[in-house]
Amino acid sequence: MKKYEFLEHTADVFIVGNGKTLKEAFQNSALGVMQYMVDIKTVQLKIQKKIKAKGSDLKSLLVEFLTQVLALHDAENLVFSKFKVTKFDDKKFEIEATAQGEDFNAKKHKQGTLIKAITYHEMEIKKRKNIYSIKFLVDI
Amino acid sequence: MAAPIKQIKLNKISEVEWQIPKGEVPGMNVPGLVFASDELVQRMRLDRTLLQTANVATLPGIYKHAICLPDGHEGYGFPIGGVAALDFKEGGISPGGIGYDINCGVRLLKTNMTVKEIRPKLNELVMALFRNVPSGLGSKGKIRLKSRAELEQVMKMGARWAVEKGYGWKKDLKHLESEGELKVADPKHVSDLAVKRGLPQLGSLGAGNHFMEIQRVDEIFDEKTAKTFGITGKDQVTVMIHTGSRGFGHQVASDYLREMEKAFPEILKKLPDRELIYAPAGSDLADKYLKAMSCAANYAWANRQMILHWVRESFEKVFKKKAEEMDLEVVYDVAHNIAKIETHKVNGKKAKVFMHRKGATRAFGPGNPEIPSDYQKVGQPVLLPGSMGTASFVLVGSKTSMEKTFGSTAHGAGRLMSRHAALKQWRGEALKKKLEEEQKMVIRSASWKGIAEEAPGAYKDVEEVAKISDKAGIGKIVARMRPVGVVKG
């Protein structure tokens, strides 16, 4: 199982986050988002941030969660290479997670492409052979 | 890829115009109108461009037709290159009809210099621009606003805020769409998270398809109009700035998409696409979103105004002359992701509408009170940026654009190839070298990946887009520019 994958779309890009549990698929979706923006192999674990999000269904929970990740990047100039979901409620659609990484440094980190927003376009949350896959389009 | 795409029926109206008949998707209130050549139609058929145009036609209070412009391609909700006029009382306002990068737009500057004069210092100039205008991932504005109260001034005043702070000249404002300030903006409807994302980024180019370009005028097609816009001859140097409202606008869009989904589950259920969600006219959310979205639009105009100032500073430093001496003036500034309240003539009657333009440029014709007094006689300049390494165009709005497209035309080249495919096909380093060697361009980018993703071959031919706009009469070609220096975000 690949943690995350990138698939084609004319203007933007699909990210797929995979996991043995939904929780893990959410974690790996966040990792995919980060990898698209920066080579996460170059990101060290120096700072830890808490992320909380709430949705009205699974899809909106994912959008809210990943939007918080983008907001942390924009607001505090951070990049992350590890996410851990600490609370996952798929009845109330609430999530809590920690994100670990460091300050973005253009000299140290190999840049990818900035993601502007997470969209609902063609979003799929599927379970196949015990693997959960979340596919979502990001706006570049 | 995914499930096969529903094929949409098209009736050819003219060489470059097609109608999507009502009924192609259930619930269409009006037909669709697509501007494209035979070839571009084939391209549009490869993704959901036409289906999304038909979906837009299901929105309430929509006038005449849902429009797809020649650079149209698949977006989310609306296609990119989508235009819709929804009645101010019976319709609504949809974030999907605007896009996440609210007031992403283009500003064109002119100079009195020729490419020959700047060539010896081109390298230095591009480096100066790259240094003076923050770009790329994590790009922060050089001045850092500290509080919400400070940012609220930007939200309210737009480009005028920047001018009052010393960024640029007062007369710049006259040459901006809406003079760079939507008065309906009200910061109290903007979330704290949007403010947090917006504070550090004011005064930065960002990444993705955003760029600054030093260009030379390559050909003038309409001398009289070009002269009115200050474009006077071949090889004249112009500067193009393409950016938007950064994370601030993205958060405003995300916030209101969520709010609207929550508030209108019944509407959501009936929509063919979740991202077409709208706030019905007259609802509290319609009012709030309009005001918050206008704050983001103003942020973007302030952003481009600050960048203009740094462009002037860079020229001054490199050429050791005052910007005034170089006539480094604004030709125009257009928003191509925006909704505005406008009044249009429909079947002889005036209609007040929420005018949605997503990846579409306003193209008002001559005599419209919204355009600057010095352009009144010829019409509004329309700025059509090409992709990196290809031409850009100046078009002009016309009587026809007012009649056919609510005064709108295309916004650029429009993507042809996915970013992923572009990455497979090109390597940033090699592409940069090729453009620099073959076209004598100077390129600086924060990211190699960015260069590959924005490769010229990944876009539709901007020439083709401009020609279709011209042929349909919705934006007449005035001049073409070619890049000589590029700073990529």
Asked if B446's CB is within 8 angstroms of A121's CB, the reply is no
Summarised one tens digit per residue, pLDDT across range B193-225 is: 999 999 999 999 988 789 999 999 999 999 999
Summarised one tens digit per residue, pLDDT across range A91-109 is: 999 999 999 999 999 889 9
B411: annotated active-site residue: yes
pLDDT at B440: 85
Asked if A104's CB is within 8 angstroms of B197's CB, the reply is no
Cβ of B43 under 8 Å from any chain A Cβ? no
Asked if B489's CB is within 8 angstroms of A71's CB, the reply is no
- Closest residue in B to A140 (Cα–Cα): B208
Asked if B450's CB is within 8 angstroms of A111's CB, the reply is yes
Cβ of A45 under 8 Å from any chain B Cβ? no
Residues B246-269 have a mean pLDDT of 95
Domain of A93, in residue numbers: 4-139
Residue of B40, B52, B418 to mutate when probing chain A, most A C-beta within 10 A: B418
Question: At residue B2, does pLDDT exceed 60?
Answer: no
Asked if B261's CB is within 8 angstroms of A116's CB, the reply is no
How close B102 comes to chain A (CA, Å)? 11
Going by pLDDT thresholds of 50, 70 and 90, the confidence category of residue B1 is very low
Q: Which of residues 178-207 of B touch A (CB under 8 A)?
A: 193, 196-197, 199-201, 206-207
Using a pLDDT cut of 70, give the percent of chain B over it: 99
pLDDT at B3: 60
HEC-encoded secondary structure of chain B: CCCCCCCCCCEEEECCEEEECCCCCCCCCCCEEEECCHHHHHHHCCCCHHHHHHHHCCCCCECCCEEEEEEEEEEECEEEEEEEEEECCCCEECHHHCCCCCCCEEEEEEEEEEHHHHHHHHHHHHHHHHHHCCCCCCCCCCCCCCCHHHHHHHHHHCHHHHHHCCCCCHHHHHHEHHHHCCCCCCHHHCCHHHHHHHHHHCCCCCCCCCEEEEEEEEEECCHHHHHHCCCCCCCEEEEEEEECCHHHHHHHHHHHHHHHHHHCHHHHHHCCCHHHCCEECCCHHHHHHHHHHHHHHHHHHHHHHHHHHHHHHHHHHHHCCCCCCCCCEEEEEEECEEEEEEEEEECCEEEEEEEEEECCEECCCCCCCCCCHHHCCCCCEEEECCCCCCCEEEEECCHHHHHHCCCEECCCCCECCCHHHHHHHCCHHHHHHHHHHHCCCEEEECCHHHHHHCCHHHECCHHHHHHHHHHHCCCEEEEEEEEEEEEEC
Residues of B in contact with A64 (CB under 8 A): 258
Residue of A4, A10, A38 to mutate when probing chain B, most B C-beta within 10 A: A10
Q: What is the CATH number of the domain that holds A47?
A: 3.55.10.10
- Closest residue in A to B46 (Cα–Cα): A10
Cβ of A23 under 8 Å from any chain B Cβ? no
ipTM comes to 0.89
| pTM: predicted TM-score of the whole model, two decimal places | 0.95
Summarised one tens digit per residue, pLDDT across range A26-79 is: 999 999 999 999 999 999 999 999 999 999 999 999 999 999 999 999 999 999
Our count of domains for chain A comes to: 1
Going by pLDDT thresholds of 50, 70 and 90, the confidence category of residue B369 is very high
- Closest residue in B to A66 (Cα–Cα): B254
Q: CB-CB: which of A8, A111, A119 is closest to B420? A: A8
Cβ of A53 under 8 Å from any chain B Cβ? no
